[in-house]
């Protein structure tokens, strides 16, 4: 059985306890698979990218028919750091809810007479309006050339610059190192492993450092970064408290010796 996330962000915990470690965040409109019904308040779930944890039931809608309909119709995601869904297509209208970058939404129609606004449907079935430029159609897997995908992944990662570090986070409100890299790929139609390691069964494969290109991944002990070219990489740094850019070049002002000298692997989606 599947369910849909109905809150802006649903926390995924290591245990069925709000005080346990936050291991991931699931964003509005994402669907999850029900693995185990724990009790009245908690359920164990698996995300579309095969990550598992415990979520509070209040964050989910359990309705098989509606979930199937949502999976077929929700073809857009929020491409702005934050976006308000409004009751009417005007900026002064009442806010229905706020969604963060990466949230899934069902776009109903775009009025050519008013191209600024798109009509959207929420999981509840309510109709609202979002600025058209803040929506982006989901990218089907394998629909981009290698060069375009590499560039898109880099630009998506850079769109989170200065977002604060949050352990287990995956939004502009707060994001961790693997959350940043996985979202950069997910928003471009590719699911990679959520944590900072290469795992068999996922599309990232190890390559040599000398072959690294834009969009490839750098692995360190307990950390991951996305290479953006010219010896630079973007990452959400616990030590730096936010998403930032650093360099592998020891002559660069943003060189970090602790990372540049501790690379454990380089990963790539491409052969």
User: What's the confidence (pLDDT) of residue 113?
Assistant: 66
State the alpha helices, DSSP H only, in 113-256: 146-158, 177-186
Predicted local distance difference test score (pLDDT) of residue 149: 97
Catalytic amino acids? 177, 223, 235
- C-alpha separations of 230 from 176, 206, 211 in Å: 23, 20, 13
Structure confidence at residue 63 (pLDDT): 81
Q: What pLDDT is stored for residue 110 in this prediction?
A: 59
Residues 83-117 have pLDDT tens digits of 999 999 999 999 999 999 999 999 876 556 678 99
Distance from C-alpha of 22 to C-alpha of 156, rounded to nearest angstrom: 24
Number of C-beta neighbours around residue 138 at 10 A: 15
Q: Is the pLDDT of residue 55 over 70?
A: yes
All structural domains of the chain, each given as residue ranges with its CATH number in brackets, are 2-72 (2.30.30.40), 78-137 (2.30.30.40), 146-268 (3.90.1720.10)
Predicted pLDDT at 57 = 97
What pLDDT does residue 189 have? 95
Residue 44: strand, helix, or coil = strand
The model's pTM: 0.94
Q: Round to whole Å and give the CA distance between 140 and 22.
A: 29
Mean of the per-residue pLDDT values for the chain? 94
**How many residues are given for the chain?**
271
Which whole number is the average pLDDT over 229-239? 93
Token pair belonging to 128: 């609202």
What pLDDT digit, counting tens, does each position of 126-151 carry? 999 999 999 999 998 888 999 999 99
pLDDT confidence band for 199 (50 / 70 / 90): very high
Residues 6+ apart with CB under 8 A from 52: 35, 44, 45, 46
Containing 207, the helix (H) or strand (E) segment is strand 205-207
pLDDT tens digits for 159-187?
Answer: 999 999 999 999 999 999 999 999 999 99
């Amino acid at each position: 059985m599947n369910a849909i996330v109905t809150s802006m962000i649903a926390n995924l915990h290591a245990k069925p306890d709000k005080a346990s470690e936050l291991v991931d965040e699931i964003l509005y409109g994402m669907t999850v698979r029900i693995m185990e019904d724990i009790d009245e308040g908690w359920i164990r779930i698996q995300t579309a990218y095969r990550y598992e944890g415990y979520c509070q039931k209040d964050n989910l809608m359990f309705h098989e028919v509606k979930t199937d309909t949502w999976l077929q119709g929700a073809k857009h995601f929020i491409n702005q750091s934050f976006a308000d869904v409004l009751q009417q297509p005007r900026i002064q209208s009442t806010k229905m809810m706020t969604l963060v970058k990466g949230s899934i939404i069902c776009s109903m129609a775009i009025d050519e007479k008013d191209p600024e606004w798109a009509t959207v449907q929420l999981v509840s079935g309510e109709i609202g309006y979002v600025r058209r430029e803040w929506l982006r159609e989901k990218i089907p897997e394998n629909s981009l050339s290698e060069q375009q995908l590499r560039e898109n992944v880099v630009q998506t990662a850079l769109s989170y610059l200065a977002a604060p570090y949050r352990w287990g986070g995956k939004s502009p409100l707060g994001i961790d190192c693997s959350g940043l890299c996985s979202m950069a790929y997910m928003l471009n139609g590719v699911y990679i492993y959520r944590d900072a390691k290469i795992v068999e069964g996922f599309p990232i494969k190890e390559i040599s450092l000398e072959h690294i290109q834009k969009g490839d991944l750098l692995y360190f002990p307990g950390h991951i970064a996305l290479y953006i070219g010219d010896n630079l990489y973007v990452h959400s740094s616990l030590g730096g408290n936010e998403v930032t850019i650093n360099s592998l070049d020891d002559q660069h002002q943003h060189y970090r010796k602790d990372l540049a000298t501790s690379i454990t692997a380089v990963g790539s989606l491409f052969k």
